[in-house]
Amino acid sequence: MIEKTLSIIKPDGVRKNIIGEVIKRFEANGLKVAAAKMKHLSLKEAQGFYAVHSARPFFSSLCEFMTSGPVLLMVLKGEGAIAKNRELMGATDPAKAAPGTIRKDFADSIESNIAHGSDAPETAAFEIGYFFSGLEIFE
Ligand code: CMP
């Protein structure tokens, strides 16, 4: 099934100058960039995006990290895009990520883990709508 998913290259990925490397992996694996914009999230924007994690002990640190510099927001589109994106990123904790994945290759910690990807169709719909209007997504 052709799906859309939200991808974020987090502030650490932007700082490490690997935007192109990450997008190259998506494109080489059948995902298309259907929308993209760079943004420096406000604290409120980060808190709203990660609201589902608001009770977790890492929430405030996560929001601080996500507002520490600009991010690249993208909508990726393709066959099984949600699972494909997560497979390419690898496990949340880079120490547990499979060899050859984005997080294994580039991430420093479970928090500074380079990229975010929606984890299910419902979250993808929420997350894409949180950052993009329909007019900004190219079909
Ligand atoms: P992400 O896939 O964007 O979803 C939630 C984020 O919270 C996750 O990537 C990490 O950046 C962060 N995170 C998840 N689990 C932990 C944890 N145990 N400790 C610190 N940060 C975490």
CA 32 vs CA 4, 128, 139: distances in Å: 9, 15, 10
Can you give the pLDDT at residue 96?
98
Q: Which of 5, 96, 113 to mutate to test the pocket of ligand 1 (most atoms within 8 A of CB)?
A: 113
Tell me if 119 CB under 6 Å of ligand 1.
no
Can you give the pLDDT at residue 10?
99
User: By the 8 A CB rule, do 94 and 113 touch?
Assistant: yes
pTM reported for the whole predicted model: 0.98
Q: Give DSSP secondary structure letters for 49-105.
A: HTGGGTTSTTHHHHHHHHTSS-EEEEEEEEETHHHHHHHHH--SSGGGSPTTSHHHH
Place of tokens 């883990």: 113
Average pLDDT over residues 108-135: 98
Which pLDDT tens digit goes with each residue over 92-101? 999 999 999 9
Can you give the pLDDT at residue 69?
99
Q: Does 116 qualify as catalytic in the annotation?
A: yes
Can you give the pLDDT at residue 39?
98
Average pLDDT over residues 10-25: 99
Can you give the pLDDT at residue 85?
99
